[in-house]
Each structure stands twice: as C-alpha cells, then as structure tokens.
Amino acid sequence: MTKAKVGIVVFPGSNCDHDAYFAFKELLGADTKFLWHKEGSVGDRNIIVLPGGFSYGDYLRCGAIARFSNIMQDVIRFANNGGIVIGICNGFQVLCELELLPGALLRNENLKFICKTVTLKVENNKSIFTYKYGIKEEFDIPIAHGEGNYYCDDETLTELTANNQILFTYRDNPNGSRNNIAGIQNVRRNVMGMMPHPERAADVKLGNTDGFRLLQGLAESII
C-alpha cells in the first residue's frame, strides 16, 4: 500500500482533475483528494498534482490567473520545502507562470490545438518522475493543447541541459518546442511539468498504459 497522499488542485476550468484522481485513487490505490483552489492549505498531502484543463478560461495567458489563487500560495511553500509537485498540461503552464519551473509555453507553432498521441523519449531516468523508464526509452502518450510550445532563452536552455532537468522530449516535435522539450524538472528535482498526459495513458481499458509507470513511480517514491 502506497503512503502517497495525493492532492489534486481544482481550478475553475480544470478538466483533467477527475482523470488524475481516477489514476491515483483507483489504479494505484493512493489516498487521493481534490483541493479546491480557494482552500488555503495543501493539508497533509505529500504529492500535489496540478491537472490539465483551461484554468480561468486561459484568460490573459494560460495559467496566469491560476498562479495567484489561494491554494497556490501554499503550493509554493510546499514546493520550496521539497514537496513533490507535478503539473500536467495546464499544470505545467501554471508552474512556469509561478516560476517554479523556468521558461514559458507559447502558442503552438502551427497555431492549432493539437490532440493526438505522440512519442516521447526519456532523456533522464534518474528522477523520481522517470525512474521506472529506461534511458532513451520511447513511449506513446496523448497530448491535447493549443499552447504547448516550450520556450526559454539560450542561457536557460544551457542550464536545463547542464543540470539534467530535461526529462522528456518529443520524437517528432508537434508544437515547436525548443529542443523538442516535452517535460522538465526544477533544479531541486521535486517539481516537474510536462505537456503530455500520463493520466490518460494509465488504464488498460484505454488501450495505452505507457503513462502509468510515471504515476506509479511517483506514488512509490513516498516511503
């Protein structure tokens, strides 16, 4: 039985919160709770998930308004104390707006919302997010975003590379992301963001379980 206590933050406009809940609660058997954005504390949770969706309607910029919501002030404190935070899709955008992760997510280069399965490559498997995968392992996973084009300046890119912060890259870059980046972690290695959806590739019934190991690895990292 995993000791993970998962908190899934729910913003107005989140729409992958229930998928994440199902994956952690039903597939992994983890103690899982929703955390409404107006709550002031993450409580006893030891893994925080910022789910996909369109928080606050993507008004102004994706994630820009969510970052100032009540609960996020405690998520910042939690992350700065070493707590595990994973941002998926819109959650990744929120983490960049929060500056818990470097860079930003721009409009896809082709200006289209892209919803399809892509192939990811594991660039670093020595993280709590990726240790269940092989190095350079390729696996399939769904993406669904209009603003997933990862951007950072040259200096940041050099740092990301030097610190082994790049966890996943796209085999065939769908959105224009710099250096094909699909997912990164922070320097301290407790905060990670990715555009693809591991929670949508976790249940056998959906025909793809390649994302399951990421969530499983996270849950099992709590001991």
Which of 64/222 has CB closer to other proteins? 64
Residue 61 touches other proteins, criterion: CB under 8 A: yes
Q: Which stretch binds other proteins (CB under 8 A): 79-87, 95-103, 163-171, 193-201?
A: 95-103
Residue 64 touches other proteins, criterion: CB under 8 A: yes
Structure tokens, 112: 């289209």
Residue 97 touches other proteins, criterion: CB under 8 A: yes
State how beta strands 84-88 and 47-50 pair. parallel
β-pair partners for 159:
none
Catalytic annotation, residues = 89, 197, 199
Q: Which stretch binds other proteins (CB under 8 A): 109-117, 124-132, 166-174, 187-195?
A: 109-117
Which of 27/106 has CB closer to other proteins? 106
β-pair partners for 90:
none
Residue 111 touches other proteins, criterion: CB under 8 A: yes
Size of the site for other proteins (CB under 8 A): 20
User: Per CB under 8 A, which of residues 185..214 are in contact with other proteins?
Assistant: none
State how beta strands 104-106 and 114-122 pair. unpaired
Task: Please say whether the beta carbons of 20 and 47 come within 8 A.
Answer: no
Residue 106 touches other proteins, criterion: CB under 8 A: yes
Least gap, CB of 34 to other proteins (angstroms): 26
Task: Report the C-alpha gap between 24 and 16 in whole angstroms.
Answer: 12
Least gap, CB of 153 to other proteins (angstroms): 8
- Residue closest to 143 by CA, chosen among 127, 120, 166: 120
Residue 162 touches other proteins, criterion: CB under 8 A: no
Task: Report the C-alpha gap between 58 and 191 in whole angstroms.
Answer: 22
Spell out a b/e string for 20-56, using b for 16 or more CB atoms within 10 Å of the CB, else e: bbebbbebbebbbebbebebeebeebbbbbbbbbbbb
β-pair partners for 185:
192
Least gap, CB of 109 to other proteins (angstroms): 5
Q: Which stretch binds other proteins (CB under 8 A): 49-57, 106-114, 117-125, 211-219?
A: 106-114
Q: Which residues bind other proteins (CB under 8 A)?
A: 60-61, 64-65, 68, 96-97, 102-104, 106-111, 151-153, 176
